[in-house]
Amino acid sequence: MTFDRAAILALDAADPLAGFRDRFAIPDGCIYLDGNSLGPRPVAALDRAAHVVGVEWGVDLIKSWNTAGWFELPTRLGDRLAPLIGAGTGEVVVTDATGINLFKAMAAAVAMRPDRDTIILEGSNFPTNNYMAQGLAALSGGRLQVKLLEKDEIAGAIDTRTAAIAVTHVHYKTGHIHDMPGLTARAHEAGALAIWDLCHSAGAMPVDLNGAGADFAVGCTYKYLNGGPGSPAFLFAARRHHGQAIQPLTGWWGHAEPFAFRPTYAPAGDIRQFLTGTQPIVSLSLAELGLDIACAADIGAVRKKSMALTDLFIRLAEQRCPEMFGVASPRAAEDRGSQVSLTHPEGYAIMRALIDRGVIGDFRAPDIVRFGFAPLYLRYLDVWDAVDILAEIMATAAWRRPEYQVREAVT
Ligand SMILES: *Cc1c(COP(=O)(O)O)cnc(C)c1O
């Protein structure tokens, strides 16, 4: 099937999610294909920021811990997020960074399997996950070993020494989706626990943690959940582990009675045990606006459009730039998250040229030109226009300009 601009406009006209775009602040002239790294600002976040800073902090001051619900924000937002990831009420908190939450979850899981000495992660995963596992292993004084394996090796490597697997559901570079129910079942069969990182799935596709029997999960709110730069991550602990799983960052927010100020730590018996310290309230408050939008959308429709957008992008890129790029993402949409990763040895310069022309994606070393397709604010027309601009850059070799060769700190 070949597309022309009119066919693309017809797709947008028939899009059931089209109305969501108006709830985001997308700058004029910008085709934003980087929502898998930092989601755009919900329009409503500006007024909320003014209220939180101007009134809740500015006028009501410390009373706001009670009157504005600041103290409950981590659990309240966790409960809002829960249905998006197949979790129950009281099983999720929004707090801290993903890496910190992963550390807490891995430490809790490993402590629940004291007779086992190995944790398995994916070697090519986003490195912080592996770094955190290595830090945990170093703290264990040699008891715990980190095994880094690739996708097809993980299931076969789970054995009676495995305390836990900690796998990222959708690969940050390629967009490949792991079989969450299958790998979780395989881990459980061997007596191990399963921890899932949902950074590239939450808000982009249906996830069913409890359906899969997952033990713990973590993920970002600033990618597909549009929570804002550095907005707190989330942590899921299955209810059956509450009161059993003990995380090691035993700050006062995880205490059974934080305001009793007792000299000795005693963990809360519920999900609050996974909290550590005072939360970034401004950032948490703004994260709620991204969740408001995500919860209003039909996640099945989001996934359907995501598959259509990524399929369209691959097809148009191959038509307009034949033989120029490799495709690092799975070809079958069912196996692919909400992103497309092309490969090119000059990928960095090509991305710089794209960004200069308003098409914002990112580059992941050594050669991945990465495009995220967030269905709540992207149009089919954006895909068409982005490929148009990419084709022009490739046809004119515009990426060769010297300033595009110089690496910036953040790619
Ligand atoms: C984005 C991302 C992170 C981010 O970690 P922070 O600790 O929140 O900075 C971690 N893991 C994966 C797989 C990611 O994609």
Query: Can 239 be counted among the known catalytic residues?
Result: no
pLDDT at 41 over 80: yes
Give the model confidence (pLDDT) of 257-297 as tens digits. 999 999 999 999 999 999 999 999 999 999 999 999 999 99
Our answer to whether residue 173 is catalytic in this structure is no
> DSSP assignment, residue 375?
T
DSSP 40: P
Determine the residue of 102, 172, 195 to mutate for testing ligand 1's pocket, defined as the one with the most ligand atoms within 8 A of the Cβ atom: 172
User: Residue 50: which H helix or E strand, with range?
Assistant: helix 45-51
Cβ–ligand 1 distance for 132 under 6 Å, the answer no
Q: Which whole number is the average pLDDT over 197-216?
A: 98
Is residue 2 pLDDT above 80, yes or no?
A: no
Under 8 Å CB-to-CB from 332, ≥6 apart: which residues? none
Question: How many angstroms does the Cα of residue 129 sit away from the middle of ligand 1?
Answer: 7
- Sort 267 into a burial class: Cβ within 10 Å, 0-12 / 13-18 / 19+: middle
pLDDT at 125: 96
Q: What is the distance in A from the centroid of ligand 1 to the CA of 239?
A: 24
Residue whose CB lies within 8 A of the most ligand 1 atoms, among 151, 172, 220, for a mutation test: 220
Q: Please tell me the least confidently modeled range out of 2-6, 126-130, 245-249.
A: 2-6
Axis-axis angle for helices 73-81, 281-296 (nearest 10)? 20
Does residue 129's CB lie within 6 angstroms of at least one atom of ligand 1?
yes
What residue ranges in 106-179 does DSSP mark as E strands?
118-122, 145-149, 162-168
Asked if the model's pLDDT at residue 408 lies above 70, the reply is yes
Among 129, 151, 199, name the best residue to mutate to test ligand 1's pocket (greatest count of ligand atoms within 8 A of Cβ).
Answer: 199
Q: Does the beta carbon of 220 lie inside 6 Å of ligand 1?
A: yes
The ligand 1 atom at the shortest distance from the C-alpha of residue 220 is 8
Compute the mean pLDDT over every residue in the chain, rounded to the nearest whole number.
97
Percent of the chain whose pLDDT exceeds 70: 100
Q: Kindly report the pTM of this predicted structure.
A: 0.97
pLDDT of residue 114: 97
CA-nearest residue, atom 2 of ligand 1: 199
pLDDT at 409 over 90: no
pLDDT of residue 1: 59
Is 126 an active-site residue? yes
Question: Are 254 and 227 contacting, i.e. CB atoms less than 8 angstroms apart?
Answer: no
Contact 205, 303 (CB under 8 A): yes
Sequence-distant (≥ 6) Cβ neighbours of residue 264 within 8 angstroms: none
**37 CA: nearest ligand 1 atom:** 1
Q: What percent of the chain has pLDDT over 90?
A: 97
Domains of the chain: 5-32+298-405 (3.90.1150.10), 48-296 (3.40.640.10)
Question: 76-81: long-range contacts at Cβ-Cβ below 8 A with a sequence spacing of 24 or more?
Answer: 77/234, 77/284, 77/287, 77/288, 77/291, 78/234, 78/271, 80/288, 80/291, 80/295, 81/202, 81/221, 81/225, 81/234, 81/291
pLDDT digits (tens, 9 = 90+) for 154-191: 999 999 999 999 999 999 999 999 999 999 999 999 99
Alpha carbon separation from 192 to 53, 118, 178 (Å, rounded): 45, 10, 17
Write out pLDDT tens, residues 287-302. Answer: 999 999 999 999 999 9
Give the pLDDT of residue 339: 97
CA angle 45, 50, 52 (to 5 degrees): 90
Name beta bridge partners: 364: 368
Summarised one tens digit per residue, pLDDT across range 227-239 is 999 999 999 999 9
Instruction: Read off the pLDDT of residues 331-386 as tens digits, 9 standing for 90 and up.
Output: 999 999 999 999 999 999 999 999 999 999 999 999 999 999 999 999 999 999 99
Mean pLDDT within 32-61:
98
- Phi, psi at residue 371, to the nearest 5°? -125, 125
